[in-house]
Amino acid sequence: MNYKKIKLFLILIIISAPGILYADISMQNVSGREKQSLNGVWNILIDAYDEGLKKKWYILRDSNNGGLNELCYEGNLTLRVPGDWNHQLPELYLYEGHIWYQRRFDSKILPDKRMFLHFGAVSNNCIVFLNGEKIGEHKGGFTPFQFEVTGKLKEKDNYIILRVDNIRGENTIPALSFDWWNYGGITRDVDLVYVPENYIQDYFIRVDNNDTGKLDIKVKLNGENVSRKEIVVELNEINKKITLKTDENGIARSSKKISLELWSPEKPKLYDVAITSGNDKITDRIGFRSIKVDGNKLLLNGKPIYLRGVNFHEEIANEKRRAYSKADAEFLVNSALEMNCNFIRLAHYPQSEYTVRLAEEKGILMWEEIPLWQKINFASEEVCKLAETMADEMIQRDKNRCGVIIWSISNETSKFSKPRNKFLAELVTRVKSLDNTRLVSSALHQSQAVKEDEWTVMKLEDPLIELLDVVGYNKYLGWYQKFPCEPENLKWEAYGKPLIISEFGAECVQGNNLGDTTNLNSWSETYMENVYKKDLISFDNSEDIVGLSPWILFDFRVPRRSHALFQKGWNRKGLISPEYRKKNAWYVMKCYYDKKYYECKE
Ligand code: GCB
């Protein structure tokens, strides 16, 4: 064995060592499954000194089973699940540490069904215990995961305990410092999911990106008896029934001619698709489209498209909390629609499935990304492995959502780091091998203003550019940096590739127009408005730009934004204030997008 093989062997031994039980990647489409919700009120204990594991806080003790002294979950603090802990209890407002969650539940036991404990997301890490036994752990706060619990449940009085932490570190993703609130907790739905013994674990149903008259299907069964099984995929609306057979690994594939109405922002057509295998059946709403690049153009269903976008965080600013529900998704997506957007950059991590599904239903294209934000320790194998898992989990959850057109692999990581360049290049290959029906991008930021005749050209410089399909460019001229010239003479370039200006903007306090409003330090609406106007003039000079996502739709909360007069714990680059008052720059963007909308219609 050579050195590399020995290393791999040792890593495998470590990964499979008893005690480290990792969660499984989530099954496809939990929302389409029979399930029992475990949302609701959970008891909690705050473990500020991180002693719970040592002291076995995962074994529920009460007056009946002894050991009550110094450990009792019930009768004191509680938290609602789903939901971050920061906004629910004043003592947890800025808390970064461990919290133990506990609840009891009864569950129906169906003899011919398997059961899975499914979490939509837990921020950021957790260890899960069921009836006193550790069933596994998960790292990463924004993607779903599951554990099989068949045979581990009783009809009455089960208890589940989670140790959750939101601790930042050099080797976490995101790492030590990042520009959003570090919400902790069980932030998305928790369910007990019931499936048949041999169940449809996964499917990927899409049209061929090079030929939308061809439907490509891959279905994967899971169970003891999954080889040479028949699978039927039906689109009743067009009387289409496709029969497939699994191989010895329970995987079936087909590629068949089909005539479908394609999904687009103007007409976001979704089909009911039913997949049946033995006694398992699941249905989903799926849309079909192609997304491609031709030189510096972006083509949706073969036609050039302009992305009228915006960024938002998964936050309800006015309530100082993370968004988690269908109603929250409606609020966020409708707010983007109000500005006439057809594109959302879901910053800076996979946001709730409710948001993705709703945006797709409403005809919005999406950019989805993993939280590799600025200073990530790419030199650590453990960190890179985690980043890969995050990408896998994001793609697994949303690969059937045609509204998602871009997977982004990172935001503003440094081009000077060799391990970063090596790892991100590998990640591009990995993402493309998992899904060849979307484009790969990254939000880059290292650039130079270069004089070329009468023009000053903003040029990105990053070895990643040549590997990406679409280039994201973050730049805050007028805020972190001066405009290098008059906007009439300014251009943006991505070396002949489609370019999305993925972030630009400035800060201001809504309602403020005091002092010299030409001055950045005025924090005035007029200053911000002028930055937007100048940016837009320069964008119109640039042939490579296929879309914009200004930073950001709402002011958002960040503990490190601490200017005592103007920020007070908020990043004020929002186009809308937390109270939903639109800033001048919002109207500038809305006008610009209306104009683009009518230009594109002509
Ligand atoms: C950026 C980051 C974003 C920040 C923003 C800012 O470049 O990508 O996460 O919030 O700048 O306001 O500084």
Q: Give yes or no for residue 554 CB within 6 A of ligand 1.
A: no
So what's the pLDDT on residue 4? 54
Distance 274 CA to ligand 1 centre (A): 42
Distance 354 CA to ligand 1 centre (A): 25
Peptide bond into 90 cis (omega under 30): no
Contact 435/202 with Cβ under 8 angstroms?
no
Q: Which residues contact 334 (CB under 8 A, 6 or more apart)?
A: none
Which residue has its alpha carbon closest to ligand 1 atom 10? 179
Q: Which two tokens stand for residue 268?
A: 């976001």
Beta-bridge mates of residue 431: none
Q: Give yes or no for residue 503 CB within 6 A of ligand 1.
A: yes
- In sign, the C-alpha dihedral spanning 594, 595, 596, 600 is positive
Which residue has its alpha carbon closest to ligand 1 atom 9? 179
Q: Which amino acid is at 293?
A: V
Q: Give yes or no for residue 369 CB within 6 A of ligand 1.
A: no
Contact 442/408 with Cβ under 8 angstroms?
yes
Q: Give yes or no for residue 355 CB within 6 A of ligand 1.
A: no
Cα separation, 368 vs 286, in Å, equals 18
Peptide bond into 124 cis (omega under 30): yes
Beta-bridge mates of residue 437: none
- With the most atoms of ligand 1 within 8 angstroms of its CB, the residue from 442, 479, 503, 508 to mutate is 503
CA 27 distance to own-chain centroid = 17
Distance 376 CA to ligand 1 centre (A): 15
- In sign, the C-alpha dihedral spanning 390, 391, 397, 398 is positive
Which residue has its alpha carbon closest to ligand 1 atom 2? 179
Contact 508/583 with Cβ under 8 angstroms?
yes
Q: Give yes or no for residue 412 CB within 6 A of ligand 1.
A: yes
Taking alpha carbons only, the member of 560, 584, 572 closest to residue 509 is 572
CA 364 distance to own-chain centroid = 15
Distance 394 CA to ligand 1 centre (A): 22
Q: Give yes or no for residue 469 CB within 6 A of ligand 1.
A: no
Question: How far is CA 376 from each of CA 92, 419, 423, rounded to the nearest angstrom?
Answer: 26, 10, 11
Identify the residue whose tokens are 């449809």.
200
Structural domains in the chain plus CATH codes? 24-195 (2.60.120.260), 209-289 (2.60.40.10), 300-600 (3.20.20.80)
Buried b (16+ CB within 10 A) or exposed e, 172-198: bbbbeebbbbbbbbbbbbbbbbbbbbb
Q: Which residues contact 191 (CB under 8 A, 6 or more apart)?
A: 30, 33, 35, 36, 37, 38, 117, 118
Distance 179 CA to ligand 1 centre (A): 6
Cα separation, 488 vs 536, in Å, equals 10
Atom of ligand 1 nearest to the CA of 443: 8
Distance 351 CA to ligand 1 centre (A): 17
Distance 571 CA to ligand 1 centre (A): 9
Atom of ligand 1 nearest to the CA of 558: 10
Q: What is the DSSP string of 190-216?
A: EEEEEEESSEEEEEEEEEETTEEEEEE
Distance 449 CA to ligand 1 centre (A): 20
Distance 187 CA to ligand 1 centre (A): 23
Cα separation, 392 vs 377, in Å, equals 19
Q: Which amino acid is at 148?
A: E
Cα separation, 346 vs 312, in Å, equals 6
Q: 3-state class of 130 per DSSP?
A: strand
Atom of ligand 1 nearest to the CA of 348: 9
Atom of ligand 1 nearest to the CA of 556: 10
Task: Give pTM, 2 decimals.
Answer: 0.95
Q: Give yes or no for residue 573 CB within 6 A of ligand 1.
A: yes
Q: Give yes or no for residue 313 CB within 6 A of ligand 1.
A: no
Q: Give yes or no for residue 312 CB within 6 A of ligand 1.
A: no
Q: Give yes or no for residue 474 CB within 6 A of ligand 1.
A: yes
Distance 505 CA to ligand 1 centre (A): 10
Distance 178 CA to ligand 1 centre (A): 9
So what's the pLDDT on residue 16? 41
Cα separation, 288 vs 270, in Å, equals 8
Q: Which amino acid is at 510?
A: Q
Identify the residue whose tokens are 């191989």.
247
Distance 246 CA to ligand 1 centre (A): 47
CA dihedral 135, 137, 143, 148 (to 10 degrees): -20
Q: 3-state class of 168 per DSSP?
A: coil
Cα separation, 79 vs 43, in Å, equals 6
- With the most atoms of ligand 1 within 8 angstroms of its CB, the residue from 551, 562, 563, 575 to mutate is 551
Residues of the chain with pLDDT under 50: 1, 8-18
Distance 175 CA to ligand 1 centre (A): 15
Q: Which residues contact 447 (CB under 8 A, 6 or more apart)?
A: 458, 459, 460, 461, 473, 475
Question: How far is CA 199 from each of CA 165, 180, 225, 245, rounded to the nearest angstrom?
Answer: 33, 39, 10, 14
So what's the pLDDT on residue 24? 95
Residues present in the chain in total: 602
Q: In angstroms, how far apart are the furthest CA atoms of the chain? A: 84
So what's the pLDDT on residue 600? 75
What is the tens place of the pLDDT at every residue in 16-55? Answer: 444 578 899 999 999 999 999 999 999 999 999 999 999 9
Cα separation, 530 vs 47, in Å, equals 49
393: left (phi over 0), alpha (psi -120 to 50) or beta: alpha
Strands 271-277 and 251-257: unpaired
Distance 478 CA to ligand 1 centre (A): 14
Identify the residue whose tokens are 């009809």.
155
Q: Which residues contact 351 (CB under 8 A, 6 or more apart)?
A: 142, 314, 323, 368
Strands 40-47 and 34-37: unpaired
Identify the residue whose tokens are 């499914």.
118
Q: Which two tokens stand for residue 254?
A: 């087909």
Task: State phi, psi for 322 to the nearest 5 degrees.
Answer: -75, 145
Q: Give yes or no for residue 401 CB within 6 A of ligand 1.
A: no
CA 64 distance to own-chain centroid = 44
Contact 217/242 with Cβ under 8 angstroms?
yes
Buried b (16+ CB within 10 A) or exposed e, 29-47: bbebbebeebbeebbbbbb
Cα separation, 397 vs 381, in Å, equals 24
Cα separation, 588 vs 585, in Å, equals 5
Taking alpha carbons only, the member of 429, 338, 343 closest to residue 391 is 429
